[in-house]
Amino acid sequence: MGLKIESLQDRTDIVFSSDVIGKYAFQNINFNGTFGMVTSEENKTTLFLGAGKFIEKDGFSIKILGKKSGAATLVYGDNMQLTCDDVILLTIPDTYKKGEVVLTFGFKQLRGERLKMNGENVVNFKVPAMNFQEVSIGLK
């Protein structure tokens, strides 16, 4: 239920597409939905959840909360950008020193919840619906 596209300019797209909601895995990507894509190029990765419940790669994940399917995009690398059409649970690897981890967008800050998932230290953020914008994550 997928397609891998390798470009000549150091870009790879992994596309998941199905007319039935399902769980799929390829290499180090997990997806649950009907349409999603992971793009890797140079020093950034884009997780695009076009219609689904969950997408994850390398400890970064988006999970739609509250409804069966939604849309969201996370771009991470040198900087981070995010958009979602409903409330999501954003999970990132916990590489931060002791202290409170916060996600900042505009003038708002969201507190992160540090925990261990599948043996890995991660930080979860419950993020409200938002337009595509830069976000940053760091210690408060």
Q: Flag whether 100 is in a domain.
A: no
Is 58 inside any structural domain?
yes
- Residue pLDDT, tens place only, 23-45: 999 989 999 999 999 999 989 99
Q: What local confidence, expressed as pLDDT, does residue 67 receive?
A: 82
**Hey, CA dihedral for 10, 38, 125, 70, is it positive or negative?**
positive
47 bridge partner residues:
38, 74
Amino acid (1-letter code) at residue 117: M
The model's pTM is 0.94
Does residue 116 lie within any of the structural domains?
no
Task: Assess if residue 61 is contained within a domain.
Answer: yes
Q: Is the pLDDT of residue 1 over 70?
A: no
Question: Total structural domains in the chain?
Answer: 1
pLDDT at 74: 98
Residue 21 belongs to a domain:
yes
Copy the structure tokens of residue 77. Answer: 């690398």
How is residue 106 annotated by DSSP?
A: T
Say if 27 falls within a structural domain.
Answer: yes
| Domain around 76 | 2-94+124-134
Residue 136 reports pLDDT greater than 80: yes
Give residue 68's pLDDT: 84
105, part of any domain:
no
Span 87-93, average pLDDT: 97
- Are the C-beta atoms of 69 and 43 separated by less than 8 Å? no
Q: Is 66 left (phi over 0), alpha (psi -120 to 50) or beta?
A: left
